[in-house]
Structure 1
Amino acid sequence: MRTVLLFTLALLAACNQGPALERFGGPTMGSSYSIQYVRQPGGPAPAQVQAEVEAILQSIDARYSTYRGDSTVSRFNHLPANQCLVIDGDMRALVSFGQQLAAQSQGAFDLTVEPLLDLWGFGPQARELQVPDPQALARARQRVGYQHLRLEGDNLCKDAPVELDFNSIAAGHAVDLIAERLRAMGIDSFLAEATGELKAVGRKPDGSAWRVALELPREDRRIARQVIPVQDLAVSTSGDYRHYFEDNGRRYSHTFDARLGRPVEHDLAAVTVLDDSALLADGYSTLLLILGPERGWDFAVAHGVAAVLVTRTGAGFVSRGTPAFERAVKDE
């Protein structure tokens, strides 16, 4: 009788367990990822969820890592001009989106910047951070240009020896895929993040919204300039304050204007974008950062992008949110 009573009490205790917040993370894409999700009674355990998430991250790495010689993008990059490579639907979608951003920015955003990244010292084949000589820069620019790419059915083709770099959109895409997989597993409240790109869905176990800190663009330490509640939105921040070098008193960041063949030179330090899609947020935060404070602002307002632009001034930093951003934050 005592055993039956204890067993019954254990069952009742299990049935009365409420939702719990689970966390895990690990390395990915040269950085890290982290997942927080609300586990309902009977919901998937962290080990199971982590296995699914890491399978997605591994598939992203296998397609888009320029640091892997066997990745799909590396195999394409090694092809000479006037050659094609069969690609899957996932890469076709990302190439199409990258070409869309390039067209919208008149070529300022460009997936074919890999030769420039290497030349200036920011790419996987780079030797050192440096300002290249004009002749080397002119040669590299001949291998850059989104107009040299074309999709022909399942084939990605090039008419010049261009090389692709998906770092400006791959992490956001990974977050979207993770979010889709979590929902398919019955998880409807989570915060998924990869290399700083994130998406918040649902609410925390106590019913409150997920809260995200928007960082002040400083090199010396991390300081939150604004903390916003986020629900069913992705958040992406692009900035020039992490990867850069200085030469003869001039600052050169890893953010490139492909039309000029060089890092951008303006006072826009960081851009944060909110969107339903982490891919779109990732891509547009980079595009706006390339365009700069004036052209970036005009583009964001004209296209209804929910963005906040942080500009350097002599007195510090000035933040300005687009009408779509202010509406999005107010709604939350």
Structure 2
Amino acid sequence: MNFNSPVLKFTLGLFALFFALWLFRNTDPMGPTEKGLSGTPVKLELRGKTMGTTYHVVLSELPAGQTLAKLQNEIDQRLQEINQVMSTYLPDSELSRFNQSESTSWEPVSSELFALVERAQQLSKITKGAFDITVGPAVNLWHFGPQKTTQDRTVPYDDQIEQVQQVIGYTHLHLDSETSALKKDFAELYLDLSAIAKGYAVDEIVTLIQKHKAKIGCMVEIGGEIGTAGKRPDGSSWRIGIQAPDAAPGTLTSTLELTNLSMATSGDYFNFFVVKGKRYSHTIDPHTARPVTHNLTSSVVVTKSCADADAWATALLVLGPNQAYDIARQHDVAVMLFERTDSGITSRQTEAFKQSVAKEQ
């Protein structure tokens, strides 16, 4: 799996059921603007492409001495740097080189790569392995990885699944914080940061913007993962509408009001295949190397860190409705879950979600 994979495009594309997404309920329909050279209003937003998807940045104001073009160049450069470290799509990225190495000795890595892998491992422990950056080989085996097409989708043999299970498991990766080094138990161990890297990139772009002016308000979205800082120009929070997977276009389940918070989503409502009447989800359980069989169809997570929200959203979809709800409550994570039932899609929220960010429609 890599940043260009259809799995990732789906995971973040599901809640482009979200693009109702940010309800900028401004009195000015253009939203935040500045005066251009001609004296006409210019909308303070930037759009571009990265990691096999798109990004969207909205500002409450433009930092002094900056232009939109200069800021976009900085954003693009930072995103390219992140890609060059963490992409599995680029064969010469730092992560790809680590994956290609057959060494089982300690290998020093950059502080940036080490820090994100370390956080991923911490979240793996918290979620008891539901989040696991070594699951990529199973994703590929089930034809949800980047090299496969829908024509390839067949059910693997049990011995193939058992073989892949042998090379999956976050406990087979070791970290040395003193030297920023990583070590594999075996050469075949393969790391894929796709389920946390876009959230990390959102955090980094928010930080980049804040360095220009600490109190500037902004919202950053990469492939559906969202981070916010400060307020909109009118002093209100950034507003984001949530649409249930089976809802009619424009029908919102709730509205989030985010200030210095991030949101990430994951779902399997569209990305699956059916063989002999049995549905196979793209969400792979790292413990079994098989698609999950429960009815949780999507998760929405709100935390301060978008990287954390990104990883949590993936882990919850692996765990299923009841375990996901229980672990989110245990760790006081703001979560909304959507579940398939015989009567349609139902949803429930943790108290943290209700109290901190949600307003019912």
Fold conserved between structures, TM > 0.5: yes
Shift of 1:63: 1.5
- Measure the CA separation in 1 of the matches of 2:216 and 2:64: 14
Query: What secondary structure is seen at the aligned counterpart in 1 of 2:145?
Result: coil
**Among 319, 333, 341, the residue aligned to 1:313:** 341
Q: In structure 2, what is the equivalent of residue 184 of structure 1?
A: 211
Query: Is contact 1:119-1:126 (8 Å) kept?
Result: no
Q: Give per-residue Cα distances to partners, 1:75-113, cap 9 Å, x unaligned.
A: 111122624432111111111111112222222221101
Report the secondary structure of 2:44's partner residue. strand
Q: Give how far 1:221 is off.
A: 6.6
Partner of 2:196: 169
Q: Give the one of 316, 327, 340 matched to 1:288.
A: 316
RMSD, aligned α-carbons: 2.5
SS at match of 2:59: strand
Higher relative contact order (CA 8 A, sep 6+): 2
Q: Which residue of 1 aligns with 2:11?
A: none
Alignment of 1:19-98 (within 5 A): 21-40=43-62, 42=64, 44-80=66-102, 82-98=104-120
Where 1:168 maps in the other structure, the secondary structure is helix
1:119 aligns with 2:141: yes
Residues 202-225 of structure 1 show CA distances to partners (whole Å, capped at 9, x for unaligned) of 222233322112232249978543
Residue in 2 that maps onto 1:299: 327
Partner deviation per Cα, 1:254-301 (whole Å, 9 max, x = no partner): 221100101211111111111111111111111111111001111000
Residue in structure 2 matched with residue 139 of structure 1 by the alignment:
163
- In structure 2, the CA distance between the partners of 1:51 and 1:266, relative to structure 1 (3 Å rule), is same
Contact 1:25 1:32 in 2 (8 A): yes
Equivalent residue for 2:180?
154
Which runs of 4 or more aligned residues in structure 1 lie more than 4 Å from their structure 2 counterparts after TM superposition?
218-223
Q: What is the TM-score when the length of structure 2 is the normalising length? A: 0.82
Greater shift, 258-267 or 242-251, is seen at: 242-251
User: Equivalents in 2 of 1:202, 1:106: separation in Å?
Assistant: 34
Structure 1 segment 262-281 matched on structure 2, within 5 A? 262-281=290-309
Distance in 2 separating the partners of 1:49 and 1:132: 47
SS in 2 for 1:39: coil
Match of 1:8 in 2: none
Shift of 1:73: 1.5
Distance 1:98 1:40 in 2: 34
Give the counterpart letter for 1:166 in structure 2.
Answer: L
Identity of aligned residues (%): 37
Query: How far apart are the structure 2 equivalents of 1:270 and 1:155?
Result: 35
C-alpha contact (below 8 Å) 2:254/2:359 kept by paired residues: no
| 1:243 Cα deviation after fit | 2.6
Q: Which sits farther off after the overlay, 239-248 or 28-37?
A: 239-248
- The higher radius of gyration belongs to 1
Number of aligned pairs?
318
Which has the higher mean CA deviation after the structures are superposed, 93-102 or 39-48? 39-48
| Correspondence for 1:261 | 289
Query: Is the contact between residue 61 and residue 216 of structure 2 (CA under 8 Å) also seen in structure 1?
Result: no
Q: Residues 49 and 271 of structure 1: is their aligned pair in 2 closer, same or farther, counting only changes over 3 Å?
A: same
1:245–1:252 Cα contact (<8 Å) kept: yes
Distance in 2, Cα, partners of 1:219 & 1:146: 37
Alpha-carbon separation, structure 1, partners of 2:113 and 2:287: 24
Instruction: Give TM-score, length-normalised by structure 1.
Output: 0.88
C-alpha contact (below 8 Å) 1:288/1:296 kept by paired residues: yes
